[in-house]
């Protein structure tokens, strides 16, 4: 356990307002807009926001989350014994669905380990952008790697690509999302709000409300633009599939899946470049002197475990969130697995289904955005003033307010 003096120092660092003047904000009432570093942050520009949107369009999941699993399951189906439908995997003969679910579980287990080790980079120091870059490159490699995996005899290689691909997709999405709070809170709009608060024109609650609305607006617009962009990419994929003649033979369908994944990966690569160029450096919190980037994550988790029992509603929410998240991931995997079997892995049919689903998603979000009064703040949980729990939840990906 950290010495009390060090803990107090770490907490004090997190208790400063937007302009690092503790006399300007009554921290006894809690942190409303916590800063991640001392000093002035660069103002978020319009082009920086659009480059952030563009990365999300590219990182739409088509390559590694949608069609990667389809290609994997397709090769398993062709490689399995025609008599039993089984393959030898993880020590014994298993059916295709069992292999897919086991590989999926292994992927999530590895993700959990990685987030325990490097999760703190999302909030501390300057490593977040570099982790995003590294995992993006790994993901590009996996996506293009599918071009060499088109034969059922390579199903073991496909298993590796599937597992690493899921990890890469989740890692990139997580560290892309981690840029969001700092990006939103340094827009000109929220800079003006901070000045209004300092001059006494608005209350702390009004500033908090405006902060929530701005973050919700950026998040919803990003989701809408990503949906539109994904439909455009899928429409282009349909043309490519006709060019590959995926409906002529099983071999062509295998090739079509690999080409599709590579094309979606190429779109991701191209659309991510502006973000890597235009993102301004906004350092995260300083790591306490007695810790490093690996141990600070465990330190946060330890402090949270020691304090969460005093926050029973937050504990119930966390347990429910993890259970629902795990259920959702499993349900999506099972549905996709069954859907692939129903349509016999026909690439065009799967693409049409995705177009319908994503188009409906875009229409729904567009209708929501068409009414400004409908843009409500993100769900916010008020907890007691406990800095250790706050930073642990930030490390786990939550962005909550302290009371």
Concatenate the DSSP letters of all residues of 279-317 into one string: PPP---BPPPTT--TTHHHHHHHHHHHHHGGG-HHHHHH
- Within a domain: residue 150? yes
Q: Is the pLDDT of residue 218 over 50?
A: yes
Q: Is the pLDDT of residue 300 over 80?
A: no
- Within a domain: residue 395? no
371 backbone dihedrals φ, ψ, rounded to 5°? -115, 100
Positive/negative CA dihedral, 220, 223, 227, 228: positive
Band of residue 59 on the pLDDT scale cut at 50, 70, 90: very high
> Six-digit token pair at 264?
């979606």
Helices (H), ranges, 93-203: 96-118, 128-145, 155-177, 180-185, 188-198
C-alpha distances in angstroms, 305 versus 35, 117, 300, 309, 390?
24, 17, 9, 7, 12
Whose CA is closest to 42, among 232, 256, 264, 279? 279
Band of residue 324 on the pLDDT scale cut at 50, 70, 90: confident
Query: Can you tell me the mean pLDDT for 76-98?
Result: 89
The burial of 272, by beta-carbon neighbours within 10 Å (0-12 exposed, 13-18 middle, 19 or more buried), is given as: buried
pLDDT of the residue at 197: 85
- Within a domain: residue 396? no
Helices 295-307 and 387-395: crossing angle, nearest 10°? 130
Per mean pLDDT, which range of 20-34, 182-196, 282-296, 299-313 is the poorest? 20-34
Query: Can you tell me the mean pLDDT for 28-51?
Result: 65
Cβ contact 164:110 at 8 Å:
no
Q: Is 185 helix (H, G, I), strand (E, B) or coil?
A: helix
Query: Can you tell me the mean pLDDT for 364-389?
Result: 54
pLDDT of the residue at 176: 92
Whose CA is closest to 149, among 161, 166, 136? 161
| Residue 261, domain extent | 46-368
- Within a domain: residue 403? no
- Within a domain: residue 398? no
Q: Is the pLDDT of residue 147 over 80?
A: yes
Query: Can you tell me the mean pLDDT for 354-371?
Result: 88
- Within a domain: residue 380? no
- Within a domain: residue 37? no
If one counts every other C-beta atom within 10 angstroms of the C-beta of residue 189, the result is 15
If one counts every other C-beta atom within 10 angstroms of the C-beta of residue 45, the result is 14
Band of residue 39 on the pLDDT scale cut at 50, 70, 90: low
Cα–Cα distance, 401 to 312 (Å, whole number): 16
Q: How many domains does the chain have?
A: 1
Query: Can you tell me the mean pLDDT for 248-261?
Result: 94
Cα–Cα distance, 235 to 190 (Å, whole number): 38
Helices 204-244 and 46-58: crossing angle, nearest 10°? 40
Q: Is the pLDDT of residue 215 over 50?
A: yes
Question: Across-strand partners of 383?
Answer: 402
pLDDT of the residue at 19: 35
Band of residue 398 on the pLDDT scale cut at 50, 70, 90: very low
- Within a domain: residue 237? yes
């Amino acid at each position: 356990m950290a010495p009390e003096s060090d803990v107090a120092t770490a907490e004090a660092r997190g208790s400063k307002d937007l302009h690092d003047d503790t006399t300007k904000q009554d921290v006894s009432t809690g942190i409303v807009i916590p800063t991640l570093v001392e000093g002035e942050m660069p103002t978020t520009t319009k082009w920086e926001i659009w480059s952030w949107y563009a990365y999300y369009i590219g990182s739409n999941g088509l390559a590694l989350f949608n069609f990667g699993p389809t290609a994997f399951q397709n090769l398993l189906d062709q490689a399995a014994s025609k008599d039993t439908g089984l393959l030898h995997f993880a020590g014994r003969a298993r059916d295709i669905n069992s292999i897919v679910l086991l590989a999926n579980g292994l992927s999530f287990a590895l993700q959990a380990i990685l987030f325990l080790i490097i999760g703190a980079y999302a909030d501390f120091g300057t490593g977040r952008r570099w982790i995003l870059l590294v995992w993006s490159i790994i993901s590009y490699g996996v996506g293009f790697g599918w071009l060499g995996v088109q034969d059922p005899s390579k199903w073991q290689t496909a298993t590796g690509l599937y597992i690493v691909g899921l990890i890469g997709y989740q890692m990139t999405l997580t560290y892309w999302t981690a840029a969001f709070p700092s990006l939103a809170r340094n827009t000109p709009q929220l800079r003006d709000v901070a000045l209004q608060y300092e001059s006494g024109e608005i209350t702390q609650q009004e500033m908090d409300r405006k902060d929530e609305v701005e973050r919700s607006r950026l998040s919803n617009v990003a989701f809408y633009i990503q949906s539109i962009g994904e439909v455009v990419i899928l429409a282009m994929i349909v043309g490519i599939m006709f060019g590959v003649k995926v409906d002529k033979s099983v071999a062509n369908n295998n090739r079509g899946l690999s080409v599709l994944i590579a094309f979606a990966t190429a779109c991701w690569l191209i659309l991510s470049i502006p973000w890597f160029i235009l993102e301004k450096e906004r350092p995260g919190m300083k790591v306490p002197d007695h810790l490093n980037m690996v141990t600070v994550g465990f330190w946060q988790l330890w402090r949270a475990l020691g304090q969460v029992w005093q926050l029973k509603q937050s504990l119930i929410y966390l347990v429910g969130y993890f259970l629902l998240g795990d259920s959702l991931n499993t349900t999506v995997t099972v549905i996709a697995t069954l859907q692939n079997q129903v349509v016999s892995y026909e690439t065009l049919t799967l693409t049409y289904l995705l177009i319908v689903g994503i188009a409906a998603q875009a229409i729904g979000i567009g209708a929501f955005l068409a009414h400004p009064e409908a843009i409500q703040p993100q769900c916010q949980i008020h907890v007691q003033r406990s800095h250790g729990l706050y930073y642990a939840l930030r490390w786990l990906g939550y962005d909550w307010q302290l009371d």
